[in-house]
Structures are given as structure tokens and as C-alpha cells.
Amino acid sequence: MELRDKSIIVTGASSGIGAASALLFGEEGANVVLGARRSAELEKLADTINRGNGRAIFLAGDVMDENYANALVDLAVTDFGGLDGAFNNAGILGDLVQVPDMQLRNWNEVISVNLTSAFLAAKAQIPAMKKNGAGSIVFTSSFVGFSNGGMPGMGAYAASKAGLIGLAQSLASDHALDGIRVNALLPGGTLTPAGGSDPGTLEFIANLHPVKRMANATEIAQAAVFLLGGRSSFMTGSPMIVDGGMSVRLT
């Protein structure tokens, strides 16, 4: 029960790493505020968490809306008495094309959803955590934000995920004396709906890893529990790589 009675926001919670993490946070005894666009999926997830060790409430909305970021924090404070942690996980792949062929619309969308939404989330979350005198924020970056690893057409995605590492490090420095830790979680290839289901593509991604497989979402969620919990109390500003050995292959 690493997260017992901790109030934690999860964005991108309707599927994939976000949903798996919210479920695991609930199993660890957390009070979870679920955020994503799809209300029906959030409601089902909240019901599952509420039948177990945790408590959950949800609010559907757009992570690129600053009012929505503020509303998620308000829910945590109003319903759970404060905000202890946040897993800012929402993200998209965008169109996988080389930069000369990329539409500005695609670039802007990927940067907005993956990076600007994290800025808006942290902007809303940090004042609430300062009132508590402590807090932990985790951004879902990617191994692609650390080193491309042979993945084609990832210009916008890689830039956004590298930006999250820089944002985490800057916030960690700015708010260390406020008792707020900020880290980036860098998953390797992970089996999620966003990654598609084409067997050839999945096999290609799996074979990039020395372990010759992709992660399941719960494996990444376990790392998020560690970063949000007390066992990582001396970690801040860290890009935590959970990539099945990808970084070893690239060195």
C-alpha cells in the first residue's frame, strides 16, 4: 500500500499506461482523480477502483484546456482534501512522417498534447502541492525522447518527449525546497491501444529491445508507483528509463 490515502491525478487515464496506472494506484490505496476525454471509459475505471482498495472520481475534458487542468486539481482538493501526486501521462503519437513531409498542424497538435498539456497541468498542480508542503509529479516521456533508437518519422513525438525531460528537470530545481519532486518516466515500447495492432510493426518495435519484447502497461505503472511513492524520496529531476534494455543497445 505504497500510496495509501495519497491524492493523485492521472491524465490520459482512459486506456493504456494511464488506465493501468490508475488501477494500480487504487490497489495501493490511493485516492485517484481520473482525467481523459472519454467519459464512459473513465466511469468504468472509477467503478473498478471504487470496488477495491482505492477511491476514484473522474472528470472528462481536454488536457490542452487550462481550465480543465485547474478543475482536476479542484476536484482533488475538494473531494480528497488536497493533492499529493500527479501522473501527467496524456499523449499522442501523431503522424509518423519525416519532418519535410510533416504538416504544421500535426507538429502543433503533438507538441500541444504531449508537452504544453504537461506545462498546464504542473502550473495548476504545484500551488496545491505547496500548500501541502510536499508532492510528486511524474511526466510520461519516452525512450524516444532520450535516444531515437531507430524509430522512423518521430520528429514531433521525440521533440515533445525530450521537452518533458527538460521541463521535469527545470521544475525539480525550482521547487525542491517546496518539497515537490518532479521526474520523467521513459517507457520503452509498450503494448497499448495507441501503439496499434499491426503484427509487423509490433514485431519490429519488440526486436529493437534486447529483451525482444514490448512492455505491458502494468510494468510501466509499477515504475510510476515507485516515483510517486516514498521509496523514491531522493529522486527528483531524473529521467527514469524503463525500456527493456534499449539504452544499453544504443551505447
Say how far apart CA 58 and CA 27 lie, in whole Å.
17
Q: Confirm whether 1 is domain-assigned.
A: no
Q: Confirm whether 2 is domain-assigned.
A: no
Catalytic residue among 157, 164, 208, 225: 157
Each residue's pLDDT tens digit in the chain (251 positions)? 889 999 999 999 999 999 999 999 999 999 999 999 999 999 999 999 999 999 999 999 999 999 999 999 999 999 999 999 999 999 998 998 999 999 999 999 999 999 999 999 999 999 999 999 999 999 999 988 887 655 678 899 999 999 999 999 999 999 999 999 999 999 987 677 776 667 877 787 787 777 888 788 899 999 999 999 999 999 999 999 988 887 776 55
Return all residues near 74 (Cβ < 8 A) that are at least 6 apart. Answer: none
Q: Confirm whether 36 is domain-assigned.
A: yes
Provide the residue range defining the domain that includes 135. Answer: 7-249
Q: Confirm whether 220 is domain-assigned.
A: yes
For residue 201, the domain's CATH number is: 3.40.50.720
Q: Confirm whether 128 is domain-assigned.
A: yes
Kindly report the pTM of this predicted structure: 0.93
Of 138, 147, 32, nearest to 91 (Cα)?
138
Q: Confirm whether 95 is domain-assigned.
A: yes
State yes or no: is 157 an active-site residue: yes
What are the pLDDT digits (tens) for 116-173?
999 999 999 999 999 999 999 999 999 888 876 556 788 999 999 999 999 999 999 9
For residue 112, give the DSSP letter. Answer: I
3-state DSSP call for residue 11? strand
Total number of domains constituting the chain:
1
